[in-house]
Amino acid sequence: MSAVELSYMPGCTLKTKAKNFETTTLKLLELLDVHARELTDWYCCGTTYSLASDNVINHLGPIRTLVKAKEAGREDLLVLCSMCYNTLRRAQELVQHDEEKRSKINEFMYEEETDFTGDEVRILHLLTLLKETVGFDRLKEKLVRDPGGLKVAGYYGCMLLRPREIAIDPVAEHPSILEDLFAACGVDSVYFPFKTECCGSYQTVNEKQVVLSRTKAITESAVKNGADLIVTSCPLCHYNLDAYQPRVAEATPGFRTIPVMYISQVLALLAGLDDVQDYNLHVVDPRPVLRARGLMGKGEPAAGGKA
């Protein structure tokens, strides 16, 4: 594979609460000779796709970002956040398949130099990029650390899979792209029946009971099946599953916490990229588990993991 250059849209949360997702991904991609160029202009994706037929205005943000991506002249647009992926892909589908709404949306694009017709840019989630552009085999070549028997529970959540038209895996009810990725890296994935269940999402603001109950069910399933970590690509899932565990523990005798990490954090560790990790952004500290599996501290590979 020769060097790849693609546009990149981080979204809001990757610049703050999920900074560790961004830094570990960009460092990992550099190692893989993939150059992600952040768009000079990108807009709020709206985070949740508006479902009412006449709420066309809410699709302008993602479409404007897609216009910017088109104008940047690169074929692919990389997104990491699952919520960005969902809104951008669905807005793209809308523009592609609904002529009336497409022309209405384009009427608002008076500051943009070109229209968007839906097929000028390919929106790639990190997982699809790793699978199709980089290839799991090539990724594996860059890894320098023995996973030490690490067991992960790959958590997809909702936004990468639903609705089906935008799913990153052809089998949306029982996806395997995460498991395939980790298998290629020598990491075991545990049986995890909650992998596509909703974490409660934005109910976290005003219906905490819903999220507490979801977090309990999802994390207990991962622990029961022997996982060391839950791995995800959604900053909202990450927050709900991570930050609620102390509250679940308070109410549940015998509850065992489990750290939640981004896909790229785990891959970066396996690639020996230790200095880009920021464990302060975690509530349940992953370090004890990582140390126990020999993924930190002693036995560290020499600096940087540059192959």
Partner 1 sequence: MMKIQLSRQALLSELREQVKDLSEQNLLACYQCGKCSAGCPSIEAMDVMPSQIIRWVQLGQIEEALKSKTIWLCAACQTCKVRCPRGVDLARIMEALRQLVLRENVDYVHPNNISEEDLEELPQIALIANFRKFTP
Q: C-beta of 304: minimal distance to partner 1 in Å?
A: 30
Sole binder of partner 1 in the list 214, 216, 282, 293 (CB under 8 A):
214
**Site residues (CB under 8 A) for partner 1, limited to 56-75:** 58
Binding characters for partner 1, 6-45, by CB under 8 A (x = yes)? -----xxx--xxx-------------------------x-
**Site residues (CB under 8 A) for partner 1, limited to 138-167:** 158, 162-164
Beta strands, E only, the chain: 4-9, 34-38, 76-79, 122-125, 151-154, 188-189, 229-232, 260-262
Of residues 191 and 202, the one with the C-beta less far from partner 1:
202
Q: 3-class DSSP state for residue 290?
A: helix
Q: C-beta of 161: minimal distance to partner 1 in Å?
A: 8
Per-residue DSSP letters for 208-222? HHHHHHHHHHHHHHH
Of residues 7 and 201, the one with the C-beta less far from partner 1:
201
| Of 233, 260, 238, nearest in space to 82 by CA | 233
Opening angle at CA 62, ends 155 and 207, nearest 5: 50
Which of these segments, 48-56, 70-78, 129-137, 221-229, binds partner 1 (CB under 8 A)?
48-56
Q: C-beta of 212: minimal distance to partner 1 in Å?
A: 10
**Site residues (CB under 8 A) for partner 1, limited to 218-277:** 235-236, 239, 243
| Per-residue tokens: 96 | 């592609």
Of residues 83 and 258, the one with the C-beta less far from partner 1:
83
| Per-residue tokens: 182 | 């980790």
Q: 3-class DSSP state for residue 306?
A: coil
- Taking each helix axis from N to C end, the angle separating 82-97 and 235-243, rounded to the nearest 10 degrees, works out to 150
End-to-end CA distance of the chain: 15
User: With contacts defined by CB under 8 A, how many residues of the chain interact with partner 1?
Assistant: 44
Cα–Cα distances (Å) from 299 to 146, 285, 287, 290, 295, in that order, read 10, 20, 15, 12, 8
Of residues 133 and 176, the one with the C-beta less far from partner 1:
176
Residue 106 binds partner 1 (CB under 8 A) = no
Sole binder of partner 1 in the list 111, 137, 205, 253 (CB under 8 A):
205
Which residues are near partner 1 by CB under 8 A? 11-13, 16-18, 44, 46-55, 58, 81, 83, 158, 162-164, 172-173, 197-198, 200-207, 209-210, 213-214, 235-236, 239, 243
